[in-house]
Amino acid sequence: MPAETVTVELGSRSYPVRIGAGVRREALAAAKARADAGRRCAAVTSPAVARAMPDLLAELGRLMPVLVTARDGETAKSAEEVARCWDFLAGNGVARDGAVFALGGGVVGDLAGFAAASYQRGVEFVQMPTTLLAMVDSSVGGKTGVNLAAGKNLVGAFHQPAAVFADTELLGTLPKREFAAGMAEVIKHGLIADAGLFGLLEQNAPLSWKHPLLPAVVRRCVEIKAAVVAGDERETSAQGGRALLNLGHTFGHAVEATAGYGAYLHGEAVAIGLAMAASLSAELGRCTAAQAEQVRAALTAHGLPERLREPLPLDRLLAAMRRDKKVRGGRMHFVLLEGIGGAATSDNVAEDSAVRALLSGGATR
């Protein structure tokens, strides 16, 4: 199947998302063109990617210096690690006309993207996502950032990439758990915008990287996100807009912060958050109890958790939710399902209802 392009329409800052087997060659060609023009670039990757893709890393390394993060997982999204990136860029003479290439999953993309956004007040950024989660979600839209002990992504910047190269062949290197984690974001896209996509996922569970439908599923997710980002790039809409992409994330981010970064993969925490959001939506009459059960069943069918593995304290989860960057005027914002295939934002959810949603997912008083 030939590679396809989805364009994120942002006027003069529009960019292509190339999707398909082998598009890493296009990314390498883009890197070579910059090198041939005398533009010094640098790449950021992770230890796991360096182990899984040594040949690709060697090819990229012949064109630019490569920084490998000190560790894998969410703990790499730290102030200390972004400072390492800045020093690496400066030490290798990357100038304003240079670029940062991110080869990895969502953590690498967020970290390298924030380094690119802030180094010399902003240099070009190219995404080479290697995980399903990054391909369908985090590599598109320009959100970059790092975590604080207080919460997820509390420091960051909007910095759109120049291009995204999503090579679906690279998904063959993913551990089963990592692939499943990406499916949480795929399921989320169906829930908020495409009931047909959600139905397709129900009928073909569990999807694998070899499944013939996967490239089309990745493309559809990118189309959904590109349309949302084009309409509300910086998440400023009073209702709906880009905030809809946060379905399950208010709960999921609280799970990550409370359990400790690394206890759950991001997609696993989002899956638990989706189940909690579905329970909340059903209680508020936004979807039926049967539809909430559909959500939980779809998560389970794709190898994802829909409850906490071990109980977490309710008070700590609530405290993390109150620190979430989506809080406005002291009120927590939630994304609620409107059946399957639709969603809406609300800041009018009673805390007791949020508590019951947390308890439904395994929180403990």
Query: For residue 326, what pLDDT is reported?
Result: 73
Q: How far is residue 310 CA from its own chain's centroid? A: 24
What is the rounded distance in angstroms from the CA atom of residue 302 to the CA atom of residue 184? 8
Structure tokens at 288: 């039926």
Amino acid at 140: V
Q: What is the pLDDT of residues 42-92, one digit of tens each?
A: 999 999 999 999 999 999 999 999 999 999 999 999 999 999 999 999 999
What is the rounded distance in angstroms from the CA atom of residue 188 to the CA atom of residue 190? 5
Amino acid at 278: A
Structure tokens at 67: 């920084």
Q: How confident is the model at residue 330 (pLDDT cuts 50, 70, 90)?
A: confident
**pLDDT of 225 strictly over 90:** yes
Query: For residue 323, what pLDDT is reported?
Result: 87
Amino acid at 24: R
Q: Is 225 a catalytic residue?
A: yes
Q: What is the pLDDT of residues 143-166, one digit of tens each?
A: 999 999 888 899 999 999 999 999
Q: How large is the average pLDDT for residues 185-199?
A: 98
Classified as helix, coil or strand, 63 is: coil
Query: For residue 331, what pLDDT is reported?
Result: 83
Phi first, then psi, for residue 165 (nearest 5°) are -120, 100
Structure tokens at 170: 């690279």
Query: For residue 239, what pLDDT is reported?
Result: 85
| 158 strand-pairing partners | 143
Structure tokens at 332: 């927590």
Q: How confident is the model at residue 305 (pLDDT cuts 50, 70, 90)?
A: very high
Helical H segments across the chain, by residue range = 24-36, 47-52, 54-61, 79-91, 106-118, 132-133, 176-193, 195-203, 214-231, 249-259, 266-283, 289-301, 314-322, 351-360
Contacts of 44 (CB under 8 A, 6+ apart): 66, 67, 69, 85, 100, 101, 102, 103, 104, 108, 111, 112, 115
| Residue among 18, 24, 39, 143 flagged as catalytic | 143
Q: How large is the average pLDDT for residues 266-295?
A: 98
| Residue among 235, 268, 283, 306 flagged as catalytic | 235
What is the rounded distance in angstroms from the CA atom of residue 211 to the CA atom of residue 73? 26
For residues 132 and 171, the answer to whether their CB atoms sit within 8 Å is yes
Furthest-apart CA atoms within the chain: distance in Å: 61
Query: How far are the Cα atoms of 72, 198, 308, 365 from residue 340, in angstroms, in the given order?
Result: 34, 8, 23, 31
**Residues above pLDDT 90, as percent of the chain:** 93
Q: How confident is the model at residue 187 (pLDDT cuts 50, 70, 90)?
A: very high
Q: Is 242 a catalytic residue?
A: yes
Q: Which domains does the chain have, with CATH numbers?
A: 4-173 (3.40.50.1970), 176-360 (1.20.1090.10)
**pLDDT of 30 strictly over 80:** yes
| Residue among 18, 24, 147, 246 flagged as catalytic | 246
Query: For residue 151, what pLDDT is reported?
Result: 85
What is the rounded distance in angstroms from the CA atom of residue 348 to the CA atom of residue 230? 27
Cis peptide before 206 (omega within 30 of 0): yes
Q: Is 351 a catalytic residue?
A: no
Q: Is 235 a catalytic residue?
A: yes
Query: For residue 150, what pLDDT is reported?
Result: 84
Lowest-pLDDT range of 198-212, 263-277, 320-334:
320-334
| 7 strand-pairing partners | 16
| Residue among 18, 159, 253, 296 flagged as catalytic | 253
Phi-psi region of 141 (alpha: psi -120 to 50; beta: other; left: phi over 0): left
| Residue among 39, 188, 225, 326 flagged as catalytic | 225
| Residue among 77, 249, 286, 326 flagged as catalytic | 249
**pLDDT of 325 strictly over 90:** no
Structure tokens at 249: 């994330």
Mean pLDDT of the chain: 96
| Residue among 74, 124, 185, 283 flagged as catalytic | 185
Query: For residue 149, what pLDDT is reported?
Result: 86
**pLDDT of 238 strictly over 90:** no
